[in-house]
Structure 1
Amino acid sequence: AELTTLGALSAEQSLTPLGSHLALLPVDPRIGKMLVFGALMGCLEPVLTIAAAMSTRSPFVSPLDKRDEADALRKKVYGTEQSDLLASLRGFDAWQRAREEAGWAGAREIARDHFMSMRSMESIEQARRQFRTLLEDARLVARNRDHGSRKGKGGGASHALAADASPQNRNADNAKLVKAVIVAGLYPNVARAEPSAQPG
């Protein structure tokens, strides 16, 4: 039933074109659908990060003695759309920029100041690489010669791939499209926060 809802199986229980692509990706079907749509819609890099964040622990931490401070900072700096996934995307991008500009010392500094988990950030980065390799192996995206070799001061693959000129990233900065890809992958398990009614 889930695969039919996702559009991977037809009513006759045969693979759809989407299902044929998902069959090549040994990941949760929802994450697979997000990855396929991200590649097709030209916003692969942010979707890689979001899919990776869904597969690991939250990159943010809330220490018991500073929970309110941590939550307030996360919402102020990374959470303008009330979306944990988009906050994770922004947080990871900021962490990676800091690492590229100032090395691991910069990564540790922003992690400390912005209540981020270094271990979770590294796990997200690793999952991103794995997801991209799966897409490359399935020939859903072209192999990127710089992937895994473009280095910043921190010695990791650059987040700047999101700004490259390849077709798979032509819409990497289109936040509305990225949101649509997230919803397409997670549907029907999505919810919208309604503004609370003001007392009369």
Structure 2
Amino acid sequence: MPKSVFFHRAIIFILLVFVGIFLGQGVYMQAKAHFAQYLIEQAWKRTLVDQQPHKPWSWADTYPVAQMTFIDEQGSKSGLFTGHSMYVLEGASGRNLAFGPAQLQDGRESWRGESRIIAGHNDTHFSILEGVKQGKRIKLQESDGTEVLYQVVGTQVVHESDTQVLNSDSDKRLTLITCYPFHSLTTGGPLRFIVYAEVIG
């Protein structure tokens, strides 16, 4: 076999190995993400039974504190995962945000009737916030099964240094925060997209 043919075949083989590795990693990450959502869902179901926090896995430093569902104009549920709602985790750390939207840590056991702030990534769970308009309804199920209905009253783009968005003049406001702009080629930019919603009903 000529050396040039052998060399070309070796290059092709090496490239195929690298492609296989990258594809395998992608499949692994997808499987890991879906399994994590399953574990979070099971933890939430246990919480609804006894109203106690349950970690989705033993080494987790978070637990689900609410279930959030976006409702369209016809009343049907909508979300990133068809047929599933988002589970809100406690503590908006980078590690927790990889698994779902998370509320800013406060340490209180119950948020009912209180202002609450939830952050999420704009390329996963909070991609649904792109184009959200005033009047959109959001439902939060609390750990005791109580459901609280919110309606979007406004949106705003601010710099990350603007901490005024964390101060609410209402004790029944839901504030959602994600990075801006959507579909940016770089992550971790200085702008934030804010959605304000008030309790209705």
Highest RCO, 1 vs 2 (Cα 8 Å, sep ≥ 6): 1
TM over 0.5: no
More helix by share: 1
- Structure number with bigger Rg: 2
Q: TM-score, normalised by structure 2?
A: 0.26
More strand by share: 2
